[in-house]
Amino acid sequence: MRIRPYDEPARQVRPHPDDLAWNQPPDPAEVDPAVLGALLRRHGWQRRGGAAGRYGRWTPPGPGGAATSLLVPESRAFPDSDDLLGEALDALARSDTPAAREVLISLTLPSDEIRWWRDTPSGPVGASPWTVDERLRTAARQMLLAAALATRARAGYYGARHRRPAAALLENVLVGPTAEGHRLTAFVPVPTGRSLAVRLHQALYAAREAIDYQRATGGMDAFDGAVEAGVSRELTEALTTLVRGTEGARVAIAWAPGAGVPEGCAASAEPVEFSPGDLPVLHAAGARYLQGEPSVPVRITGTVVRLRRSGPRGEGTVRLRVLAGAEVPHVRVTLDEEDYRIAGHAHLVGLPVRVHGRLERRGGFRRLTGASGVVPVQVDDAERDRLMKSLQENLDFFEEACGEAYGDED
């Protein structure tokens, strides 16, 4: 066990979930009454009177909602506005209903809200089968990832490309409480995720229009133009997951009231609807995107993390951790005998290599074909030490590489 010296500063630790900001009522002084009213309306609360121009009385959705009410001021023009806001926020924090919790999340972290609905039969006493909830969450994550990929580049098929930065864009997205496995809400923070929400909004409408065009004319050409709006094989697969096994599914995006509507986007939160009749078109579009995306010529710099071949001579397969040259984390490369020898020696001394080839789409852009010209790349001493340390921490790969590399000399 390491003992921390007295004068060493304490290590910063991750905050406990109960201490996070969205678990506490927001400061009334930082809440815009107009934004609170807009969020209450969005989440199904009903305004039932109140002093016109001064405050409104709001009741929650669902049966028995009239027994509870909030007094929400319409502005800060009156002396008791802050008091009313504080009481309303405390009442929302005490409530355990999804409608109250979602309002608090949007107030604490200004977010664009993305909602998914799946029309599926309910289980016993309104419960949902485990698989129904799992499919909804899987489809939602696939759709967010497809939109995040489209913020990086436009492509009909991404495969392994851009996955790391796209996944990082989802780290701050919050998931709201579900309702019986049929509905899910994601809160996408405006400062970090507005581009994702905008891209998904445009892609959904473009996908709907392309499907309608195909079903009306039989032509798939509209899907080619839809790529510029963010439609891809990844999005068609997400929509397929969302729709399969349902009588229909919908997706809606509601913009954060305090941030306004993005340029070029509809202000309405009307959902985009998809049906089981769309599934054959989505499947055909996904296949079209897969076949249409070409392989990519690249010059990759990477560290060798695995070497494999069937004997002491001849060609072998190398796995590279990509440092530069392609938006993928790893690639597999088949090398001739001489290039394989160079890669093995570079691996042993802790140097990356540079290689030319084509990223092949059939493997999800994880395989480099036609590889040639393998050369070690010189790095400074600090980087070389880091690479050697990373190599030594993976003994399995290290021993495998040593055995095969020394086998070349026999």
Is the pLDDT at 265 greater than 50? The verdict is: yes
**What are the structure tokens assigned to 138, written together?**
């899987």
Tell me the sheet residues that pair with 80.
none
Predicted model pTM: 0.80
Q: How far apart, in whole angstroms, are the C-alpha atoms of residue 202 and residue 215?
A: 20
**What are the structure tokens assigned to 131, written together?**
């698989």
Q: How far apart, in whole angstroms, are the C-alpha atoms of residue 404 and residue 397?
A: 11
Inter-residue contact 304 to 358 (CB < 8 Å): no
* pLDDT tens column, 35-67: 998 999 998 888 887 666 678 888 888 765 556
The one-letter amino acid code at 327 reads E
335 or 18, greater pLDDT:
335
* pLDDT tens column, 303-327: 999 999 888 888 899 999 999 999 9
Give the range with max mean pLDDT: 239-243, 269-273, 406-410. Answer: 239-243
387 — pLDDT class (breaks 50, 70, 90): low
The one-letter amino acid code at 378 reads Q
Query: Which has the minimum average pLDDT: 15-24, 54-63, 355-364, 384-393?
Result: 15-24
Q: How far apart, in whole angstroms, are the C-alpha atoms of residue 372 and residue 352?
A: 15
Buried b (16+ CB within 10 A) or exposed e, 119-145: ebeeeeeeebeeebbebbeebbbbbbb
Which of 21, 26, 28 shows the shortest CA–CA distance to 172? 21
Q: How far apart, in whole angstroms, are the C-alpha atoms of residue 363 and residue 1?
A: 46
- Confidence at residue 279, expressed as pLDDT on a 0 to 100 scale: 97
- Please count the other Cβ atoms lying within 10 Å of the Cβ belonging to residue 406: 12
Angle between helices 98-108 and 33-42 (to 10 degrees): 140
- Confidence at residue 378, expressed as pLDDT on a 0 to 100 scale: 81
> What is the mean pLDDT of the segment spanning 148-161?
95
> In angstroms, how far is CA 377 from the centroid of its own chain?
34
* pLDDT tens column, 17-35: 344 444 567 888 888 888 9
378 or 201, greater pLDDT:
201
Is the pLDDT at 398 greater than 60? The verdict is: no
CATH architecture of 296-407: Beta Barrel (2.40)
Is the pLDDT at 73 greater than 90? The verdict is: no
First to last CA, the chain: 46
Buried b (16+ CB within 10 A) or exposed e, 238-253: bbbbbbeebeebbbbb
- Please count the other Cβ atoms lying within 10 Å of the Cβ belonging to residue 39: 24
- Confidence at residue 81, expressed as pLDDT on a 0 to 100 scale: 82
81 or 219, greater pLDDT:
219
Give the range with max mean pLDDT: 81-90, 336-345, 395-404. Answer: 336-345
**What are the structure tokens assigned to 211, written together?**
């499907």
- Confidence at residue 358, expressed as pLDDT on a 0 to 100 scale: 94
Alpha helices in 27-126 (DSSP H): 33-42, 81-94, 98-108
- Confidence at residue 7, expressed as pLDDT on a 0 to 100 scale: 38
* pLDDT tens column, 276-288: 999 999 999 999 9
Locate CATH 2.40.50 in the chain.
296-407
- Confidence at residue 23, expressed as pLDDT on a 0 to 100 scale: 53
Which residues have CB under 8 Å from 103's CB, separation 6+?
Answer: 36, 39, 40, 43, 45, 92
403 or 83, greater pLDDT:
83
C-alpha distance from residue 175 to each of 19, 105, 141, 406 (Å): 18, 10, 10, 52
Q: Is 255 helix (H, G, I), strand (E, B) or coil?
A: coil
- Confidence at residue 17, expressed as pLDDT on a 0 to 100 scale: 39
Is the pLDDT at 407 greater than 60? The verdict is: no
5 or 276, greater pLDDT:
276
Mean pLDDT (the chain, rounded): 83
- Confidence at residue 155, expressed as pLDDT on a 0 to 100 scale: 94
Is the pLDDT at 70 greater than 60? The verdict is: yes
C-alpha distance from residue 389 to each of 303, 333, 342 (Å): 12, 23, 20
Q: Is 63 helix (H, G, I), strand (E, B) or coil?
A: coil
Q: How far apart, in whole angstroms, are the C-alpha atoms of residue 410 and residue 405?
A: 10
> What is the mean pLDDT of the segment spanning 259-279?
90
